[in-house]
């Protein structure tokens, strides 16, 4: 609690992120209407207020309910894809840093090639091959954002593998796998956690971008990016169709980034 009170960014970011997670978990109990089934053209494009607190879309569906359920899709994609990226990047970084030599050169050259390709372009290419679906988004984003994790894991591994406790483990006859898992991985967990936090926010933004372009989460799923894409045709006549999904995306990404900044300050020994 002392850490949270002193670190305002970590406190505010954790509160925002925790609130969004709770909203996503308890969406069926919080949402006043079903996001897809409760469509009524008689209430199409209703302005905010009354029964529909944030208005309705062109099919008469509750905008608030769709935003609440959209948190589920954004957080699911953010955490799952970043989890996959963390596993890939950490594994490759540990191997490159601990083994070294030609293996290190091969992995880092491949990482540099991946870094030269914009993540959105690479994700678009993968989705063009696989087709738009939720599974395709998991694969596309899960294979594009691991490069920074790999570089950080490699750098941290290089700094720790020459430490005395690692040399002592070698002298005791521990295998490479046991040394990496028991001694190196726990010591580099902090920086990797910070990178993973920022990766979640990046994945949420990329999913919204792909859905906005029409090749991400497909209707009628209540994705924030899809809601922004559908609402741009009514930006003057029904601006709430873009304002509220955009605010939901802004608040979520801001909360995750603030939490990442707070974690970075906490794990940085120069700020403690």
* Residue 39 and residue 59 in contact, taking contact as beta carbons nearer than 8 Å: yes
Residue 59: strand, helix, or coil: coil
User: Which CATH fold topology does 70-271 show?
Assistant: MetI-like fold (1.10.3720)
* Residue 151 to residue 160: CA distance in whole angstroms: 14
Show me where the domains of the chain are located: 70-271
Residue 52: strand, helix, or coil: strand
Which positions of the chain have pLDDT values less than 50? none
Q: What pLDDT does 254 receive?
A: 93
Hunting for tokens 């988004």 — which residue is that? 137
* Residue 222 and residue 66 in contact, taking contact as beta carbons nearer than 8 Å: yes
> Burial level of 137, CB count in 10 A (0-12/13-18/19+)?
buried
* Residue 87 and residue 79 in contact, taking contact as beta carbons nearer than 8 Å: no
Q: What is the mean pLDDT of the chain?
A: 86
Both structure tokens of 7: 């670190």
Both structure tokens of 43: 């209430």
Q: What pLDDT does 168 receive?
A: 81
How does pLDDT run across 54-79, given as a tens digit for each residue?
888 888 899 999 999 999 999 999 99
């Amino acid at each position: 609690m002392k850490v949270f009170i002193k670190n305002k960014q970590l406190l505010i970011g954790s509160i925002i992120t925790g609130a969004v997670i709770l909203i996503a978990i308890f969406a069926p109990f919080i949402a006043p209407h079903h996001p897809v089934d409760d469509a009524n053209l008689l209430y199409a494009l209703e302005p905010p207020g009354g029964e529909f607190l944030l208005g309705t879309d062109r099919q008469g569906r509750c905008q608030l309910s769709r935003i609440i359920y959209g948190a589920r899709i954004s957080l699911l994609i953010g955490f799952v894809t970043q989890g996959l990226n963390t596993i890939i990047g950490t594994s490759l970084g540990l191997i490159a840093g601990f083994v070294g030599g030609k293996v290190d050169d091969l992995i880092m050259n491949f990482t540099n090639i991946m870094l030269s390709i914009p993540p959105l372009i690479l994700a678009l290419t993968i989705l063009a091959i696989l087709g738009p679906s939720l599974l395709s988004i998991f694969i596309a984003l899960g294979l594009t954002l691991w490069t920074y994790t790999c570089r950080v894991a490699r750098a941290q591994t290089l700094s720790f593998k020459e430490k005395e406790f690692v040399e002592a483990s070698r002298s005791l006859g521990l295998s490479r796998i046991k040394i990496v898992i028991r001694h190196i991985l726990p010591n580099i967990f902090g920086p990797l956690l910070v990178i993973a936090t920022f990766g979640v926010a990046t994945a949420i933004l990329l999913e919204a971008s792909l859905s906005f372009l029409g090749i991400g989460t497909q209707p009628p799923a209540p994705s924030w990016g899809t809601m922004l894409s559908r609402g741009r045709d009514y930006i003057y006549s029904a601006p709430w169709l873009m304002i509220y999904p955009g605010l939901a995306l802004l608040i979520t990404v801001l909360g995750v980034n603030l939490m990442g900044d707070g974690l970075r300050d906490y794990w940085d020994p120069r700020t403690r």
